[in-house]
């Protein structure tokens, strides 16, 4: 079974990732400590640094003197999407106590974060006060690269196994009625919520704690989130740090069509 069947796959540690981390890990940690970046990206009362686009890599993944990012997970991803330039990586750092409730979060959203790991599909973030959902960022895949060595309870990524096919089926039922150019303007809120409910009722919840050198590949349509930090979990002072890449597809229709 691969990520295309289950919606997720762990690729065992390999030298390509470990070599890359020699430069990328200190760069990621430095990014998560930067004052300006922290002012912009700390959430959940300081227990999560979201760190979108904060890793200083080039489109091949190179940072400073490092080589390009080269690993089996990236090869598997690009076999499906074609080669896509990498954006600056997201540096996601979780800290003990995650999630606390910050001023940016409603009571309901906070409860969902605690109880349901803030489960979501990337690319359909809620917009405005009414939190309506539109397909605004068609990502190709999500590639996670653990940076720090942590215990199992240090807010691992969570994936609902097989959820990508439920999401595909439900969203396709609506979107196939429209030209792809119009997909970004179709309100998907009700469909998305019903699909997510079905996922919670029928799919297995899988936690993916990682170790440096591994690569985690998540299907673009998979429901995923981040687990609360379990008290006493082992982690370095930098927290549980993971770098994520999730480049956009060139064609929005590929979001539902590709394997």
**Given the rule CB under 5 A, which residues bind Fe ion?**
122
CB 10 within 8 A of CB 146: no
DSSP 197-252: HHHHHHSPEEEE---BTBEEEEETT--EEEPPPPTT----TT-EEEEEE-PBPSST
The minimum distance between CB 254 and Fe ion, in angstroms, equals 19
CB closer to Fe ion, 10 vs 52:
52
CB closer to Fe ion, 122 vs 238:
122
CB closer to Fe ion, 16 vs 209:
209
The minimum distance between CB 232 and Fe ion, in angstroms, equals 26
CB closer to Fe ion, 183 vs 244:
244
CB closer to Fe ion, 97 vs 225:
225
Contacts of 142 (CB under 8 A, 6+ apart): 122, 217, 218, 219, 220, 222, 224, 244, 245, 246
Instruction: Identify each DSSP E strand in the chain by its residue range.
Output: 8-11, 42-43, 48-49, 90-94, 126-127, 132-133, 141-146, 157-160, 205-208, 215-219, 224-226, 240-245
The minimum distance between CB 224 and Fe ion, in angstroms, equals 6
DSSP 125: -
CB closer to Fe ion, 6 vs 219:
219
Q: Which residue's Cβ has the minimum distance to Fe ion?
A: 122
**Count of beta carbons in the 10 Å neighbourhood of residue 74:** 23
The minimum distance between CB 144 and Fe ion, in angstroms, equals 10
User: How far, in Å, CA of 188 to CA of 97, rounded?
Assistant: 33
The minimum distance between CB 192 and Fe ion, in angstroms, equals 14
The minimum distance between CB 107 and Fe ion, in angstroms, equals 22
């Amino acid at each position: 079974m691969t990520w295309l069947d289950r919606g997720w796959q762990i690729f065992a540690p390999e030298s390509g990732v470990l070599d890359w981390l020699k430069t990328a890990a200190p760069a990621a940690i430095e990014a998560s400590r930067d004052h300006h970046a922290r002012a912009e990206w700390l959430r959940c009362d300081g227990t999560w640094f979201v760190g979108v686009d904060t890793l200083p890599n080039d489109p091949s993944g190179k940072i400073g003197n490092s080589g390009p990012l080269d690993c089996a997970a990236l090869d598997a991803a690009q076999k499906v999407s074609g080669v896509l330039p990498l954006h600056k990586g997201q540096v996601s750092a979780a800290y003990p106590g995650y999630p606390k409730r910050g001023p940016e979060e409603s009571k309901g959203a906070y409860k969902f974060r605690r109880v349901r790991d803030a489960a979501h599909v990337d690319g359909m973030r809620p917009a405005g006060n009414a939190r309506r959902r539109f397909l605004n960022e068609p990502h190709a895949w999500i590639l996670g690269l653990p940076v720090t060595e942590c215990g199992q309870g240090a807010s691992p990524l969570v994936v609902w196994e097989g959820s990508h096919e439920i999401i595909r089926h439900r969203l396709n039922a609506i979107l196939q009625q429209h030209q792809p150019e119009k997909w970004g303007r179709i309100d998907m809120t009700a469909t998305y919520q019903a699909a997510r409910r079905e996922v919670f009722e029928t799919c297995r919840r899988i936690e993916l704690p990682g170790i440096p050198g591994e690569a985690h590949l998540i299907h673009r349509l998979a429901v995923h989130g981040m687990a609360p930090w379990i008290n006493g979990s082992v982690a370095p002072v930098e927290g549980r740090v993971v770098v994520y890449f999730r480049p956009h597809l060139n064609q929005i229709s590929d979001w539902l069509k590709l394997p």
